[in-house]
Amino acid sequence: MTAAHAFAPAKINLTLHVTGQRDDGYHLLDSLVVFADVGDRLWLEPAPDMSLDVTGPFAKGVPTDGRNLVWKAAEAAGTPLRIRLEKNLPHGGGIGGGSADAAAVLRHLGAGQVAATLGADVPVCLDDRAKRMTGIGDCLTPVPRLGTWDIVLVNPGVEVPTPSVFKALCTKTNAPMGTIPSQASKDDFIRWLAQQRNDLQEPAISLAPEIADALNILKGAKLVRMSGSGSTCFGLYRSAEDAQAAQDRIASAHPNWWVKAAKTL
């Protein structure tokens, strides 16, 4: 039998406001989430027992057993699979990674209902439509059409554990995101976006100053910000040519960083 192919696109938090903290420690978020045409790839086929093979540029250090979220996802869905996972995205990078991979498995198995049990970021990755994400990541609402954006993703090669970033955040009760404009021009959308925030950006920089370097080198983009809890940062560009030029410039200045021009979906 041939294996089914699944794509796990990079998740980008265009905004990420932290608006409170629950008694169990989880934080309340208000975030505009989009997806891009770069991501991990999976090949999935039914099997009597679970197995996992990891390949790709970011395969190193990825567990190939029950510790991997794709394994947990298949188990939670009650369906053993033989999985090949091609890791193209840096892990611990604030752009989905393991959560997007797990969501791709659940989507394939039609088992999205167990997503929240695997992690706060898994439900938002169940489909690739832009969404507003509130609650701890579990409340998802559709957003006005945002159009396609040329984007450059820059990961400065440092991993920042999400719990440490939340811990380094001084003020947990911040203003929510404003109303997302509908039918806005690209310029108006950028102006609105510039007034929003990623509240985890400063605490992440305090743990990994390389993030500030990544944000700096993206200057010149229409909007520059960090995604998720870092360390991947992004710039939004006016055209594919501008994004490609930025990718080439940044990649030659930092040959060891992960730099990728892409399009939002």
Please list the active-site residues: 11, 121
Nearer to ligand C5P (CB atom), residue 232 or residue 247: 232
Quote the least distance from Cβ 129 to ligand C5P, whole Å.
Answer: 20
Nearer to ligand C5P (CB atom), residue 121 or residue 150: 121
Report the C-alpha gap between 134 and 141 in whole angstroms: 8
Burial per residue of 126-150, b for 16 or more beta-carbon CB atoms within 10 angstroms, e otherwise = bebebbbbbebbeebeebeebeebb
Residues 6+ apart with CB under 8 A from 34: 11, 12, 14, 130, 146, 149, 264, 265
Q: CA angle, corner 165, sides to 167 and 261, nearest 5? A: 165
Nearer to ligand C5P (CB atom), residue 94 or residue 235: 94
Confirm if 184 and 192 have CB atoms less than 8 A apart.
yes
Quote the least distance from Cβ 182 to ligand C5P, whole Å.
Answer: 26
Q: Please report, in angstroms and rounded to a whole number, the separation of the first and last CA atoms in the chain.
A: 31
Give φ, ψ of 242 to 5 degrees: -60, -40
Which residues contact ligand C5P by CB under 6 A?
Answer: 26-27, 29, 119-121, 136-137, 162-163, 166
Quote the least distance from Cβ 26 to ligand C5P, whole Å.
Answer: 4
Quote the least distance from Cβ 131 to ligand C5P, whole Å.
Answer: 15
Report the C-alpha gap between 106 and 213 in whole angstroms: 36
Nearer to ligand C5P (CB atom), residue 27 or residue 238: 27
Strands (E), 113-250: 131-134, 139-142, 150-155, 223-226, 233-237
Quote the least distance from Cβ 22 to ligand C5P, whole Å.
Answer: 8
Nearer to ligand C5P (CB atom), residue 74 or residue 136: 136
Residue linked to tokens 């390949």: 55
